[in-house]
Amino acid sequence: MSIHIGAKENEIAQTVLLPGDPLRAKYIAENFLEDAKCYNEVRGMYGFTGYYKGKRVSVQGTGMGVPSLSIYVNELINSYNVKNLIRIGTCGSLQPDIKLRDIVIAMSSSTDSAINKIRFNGMDYAPTASFKLLKKAYDKAMELGIQPKVGNILTTDTFYNDDPDSWKLWAKFGVLAVEMETAGLYTLAAKYNVDALTILTVSDSLVTGEATTAEERQKTFMNMVKIALEIAE
């Protein structure tokens, strides 16, 4: 047991899928995993372990934002010995050629969060994906007939920014999409020498203003779940 996860030792697999939304974790356990058992209900942040094509896999909600995700990732690595962390999240597109429901794989993550400024005494760290997981995810997506967009994303602390045009600067420098956790995930994975990857589905577009519904966000993003489960070790 850790402070925020009620699982016993060995109840969590070495590969964990990490949706922000705990109900997405429940949905995945119920619809994709065999023999799934709930190991965590603390704070309603569901965690399940089950089997996908014979492989033991867990899925754990993280909540929204770097501070919340960092609590779960620290505990998964340090209390449960997790080795592969695959975030499966939603994002907003920052580029005109990235459309609703497209898959974005984060090679790296820029951020407006101060976490790494604090950690690295004002200097800039470049949070980067595990190449092993990135290559596997890209190859698997292509095999499934899905063409993912791969590149730099933005991890923001402000879903509601005071300046509605602030994303345009990031977009000008080629950043593909915005979400709220990956810079924290990649930094902690590097610190503890484990593998991490973020796979995202585009839920809305800052370019066009289009958006999907909450129900769609919870249930219809099957492609990224399939890719994540297929690359689980």
Ligand X SMILES: O=c1cc[nH]c(=O)[nH]1
User: Which parts are annotated binding residues for phosphate?
Assistant: 20, 24, 43, 87-90
* Among ligand R1P, ligand X, none, residue 181 binds (CB under 5-8 Å by kind): ligand R1P
Who contacts 19 (Cβ-Cβ below 8 Å, separation ≥6)? 25, 28, 59, 61, 62, 87, 88, 89
Nearer to ligand X, 54 or 164 (CB): 164
CA dist 72 and 159 (Å) reads 21
Q: Interface residues for ligand X in 142-161 (CB under 6 A)? A: 159
Q: Is 204 among the catalytic positions?
A: yes
Q: Interface residues for ligand X in 78-117 (CB under 6 A)? A: 90-92
Size of the site for ligand X (CB under 6 A): 9
Q: Which residue lies nearest ligand R1P, judged by its C-beta?
A: 20
Binding-site annotation, residues for a purine D-ribonucleoside: 4, 179-181, 203-204
Who contacts 59 (Cβ-Cβ below 8 Å, separation ≥6)? 16, 17, 18, 19, 25, 28, 29, 33, 47, 48
* Among ligand R1P, ligand X, none, residue 92 binds (CB under 5-8 Å by kind): ligand X
Under 8 Å between Cβ of 82 and 76: yes
Nearer to ligand R1P, 5 or 59 (CB): 59
Residue found under tokens 């896999």: 57
Under 8 Å between Cβ of 50 and 34: yes
Neighbours of 12 (CB within 10 A): 25
β strands within 12-138, DSSP E: 15-18, 34-40, 47-52, 55-60, 84-93, 103-111
Under 8 Å between Cβ of 221 and 101: yes
Under 8 Å between Cβ of 153 and 178: yes
Chain residues in the site for ligand R1P (CB under 6 A): 19-21, 64, 89-90, 159, 179-181
Nearer to ligand X, 41 or 210 (CB): 210
- Active-site residue (options: 21, 102, 195, 204): 204
Among 24, 204, 231, 232, which residue interacts with ligand X (rule: CB under 6 A)? 204
Is residue 179 part of the contact set for ligand X (CB under 6 A)?
A: yes
Among 13, 69, 88, 180, which residue interacts with ligand X (rule: CB under 6 A)? 180
Active site (catalytic) residues: 204
Q: Which residues bind ligand X (CB under 6 A)?
A: 90-92, 159, 178-180, 203-204
